Structure 1
Amino acid sequence: MHHIFPDHALLRRECDILLAVIGWPERLEDFRRWMADAHPEADIETTCFDYLPFGPLAEIVFDNYDVILRIRFPTEAEARRFEELWPTRGLAAGPYAASWPDRGPTPVTWKPLRPELLRRIAEMGERRKKAAGGSDPA
């Protein structure tokens, strides 16, 4: 489980971990199952009002993430350990490792906003070639 949520914001407040994510239902369910196995002592709830503790990033969290999970641990030490190990890697992922495969960095793909723009650019290039080379021998 190299990346549970590829895009996230994490904040620890005493015994609570606030984890802001984009809410993919299947990943949220997998995450809850993994937490039940890996950290049965933790209590997980979904909240939408805890973006303010993110401080200067609060607006970004509010605008870009649609789920904030509050993970409450019995002690602050357990919350610190969870924070240090995030994202959970290797053997700690247990049987859920396949749920979050690490596909490496996302390749950059460029897509034109208007496909007809590429067609027009290609046509202009052909017209320039014809104009520069004179007429085509047919």
Structure 2
Amino acid sequence: MNFNPMDNQDGILMYCAQSEEGLGDFVALVVKDERVEFRYDIGSGLAIIRSNHVLRPGVWTHVSVNRDFKEGNLTINGEPTIGGKSPGTARTMTLNTLLYIGGVDRRRITVNKNAGVNRTFRGCISDVSSS
């Protein structure tokens, strides 16, 4: 995914969850405190993988994330990958909601509190892909 923030505010880049009520498993890619965070919970605890790269409004950023069972990776602009993993014994994730890009439909979704951000992203998002 590539994105270009309009400002320094926090925002949801991508979100998907087990339930529309904000309970259970979830995965989120967010801008928080001018950095990108990859957050997920596979049922046994929260993983937070935080970039050291400080975002600047008006500057395009490329982010790549992946998760393999408990382990997750975050790469910003081709810099060295930052890894992390969720605690506990759970290994798989159950996701039932739609995949939201740039924010969520607040009429349908309550964002899991552990996503850390509940605001819509302000800016441009392009080149969203999966591999």
- Determine which structure has more spread, i.e. the larger CA radius of gyration: 1
Q: Under a length normalisation based on structure 1, what TM-score does the superposition of the two structures give?
A: 0.26
Q: Under a length normalisation based on structure 2, what TM-score does the superposition of the two structures give?
A: 0.26
Answer 1 or 2: which has greater strand percent.
2
Answer 1 or 2: which has greater helix percent.
1
